[in-house]
Amino acid sequence: MQQQQRHEQAKTNKWTFAFYIGLFAGLIWGGLKIIEHYFHFTSLSPGFLLEPFFLHSFLSSWPGYLLGWGAFIVMSVAAALLYALILAKARGSWFGLFYGAAWWAAIFMFIGPVTGMMPWMIRMDLNTILTDACLFLIWGLFIGYSISFEFTDERSREPYRKKPGTPEAV
C-alpha cells in the first residue's frame, strides 16, 4: 500500500510540466531568435508575432525585441500545452519535429502573411526561410521530446526489484 502511494506521488502533473517546458522553450529558442536576427541570419525581427499590433520601428528596437521575446514565450507555452493535450504519449523525437514543422508552416504560409506579421514566402529571402524553419524544427523537437519522454518513460518510476541470485546490496 505504501509503495503504491509513493508511486502515485511520483507522477508528474502534465499541465504544470508542459507549462514549464513551454516557458523554457520560449526563453531558449526565443533568445536564439534574437541572436539569429542580430547576426542577420533572418530578416524577421524577434517581435514578428506582434507585427500586426505594433509599429515595425518599435519592434526593431531593444524594447521591441524583449516584447517579441515575451510573445514567443507565450506562444511556446500555448504550443507546449497543446502538445501535452494531443501528443503527450507519442514516443520518439519525430513527432516533435513534425510538430515544429507544422507550427512553422502554419505561421509562415498562412497566419503570418494573412495577418501582416510577415510577407508571403515568395517575397522572403532563402536565409530567412531556412533559418526560421530550422529554429521551429528544434523548438518543436525540444517541446515534443521533453514532454513525450516524461510521460512515456515509466521504467524510471518503477521500484527497484532485486533479481534472483544476485547478492544483497549494502
pLDDT, tens digit, 9 for 90 and up, residues 107-163: 999 999 999 999 999 999 999 999 999 999 999 999 999 998 888 865 565 566 666
Distance, CA of 68 to CA of 105 (rounded, Å): 19
Task: Indicate if the pLDDT at residue 24 is higher than 80.
Answer: yes
Distance, CA of 96 to CA of 86 (rounded, Å): 12
Distance, CA of 14 to CA of 141 (rounded, Å): 18
This prediction's pTM: 0.83
Domain spans in the chain, listed from the N-terminal domain onward: 12-153
Strand stretches in the chain, DSSP E: none
| The C-alpha cell that represents 75 in the structure block | 506562444
* Vertex 33: Cα angle to 129 and 79 (nearest 5): 85
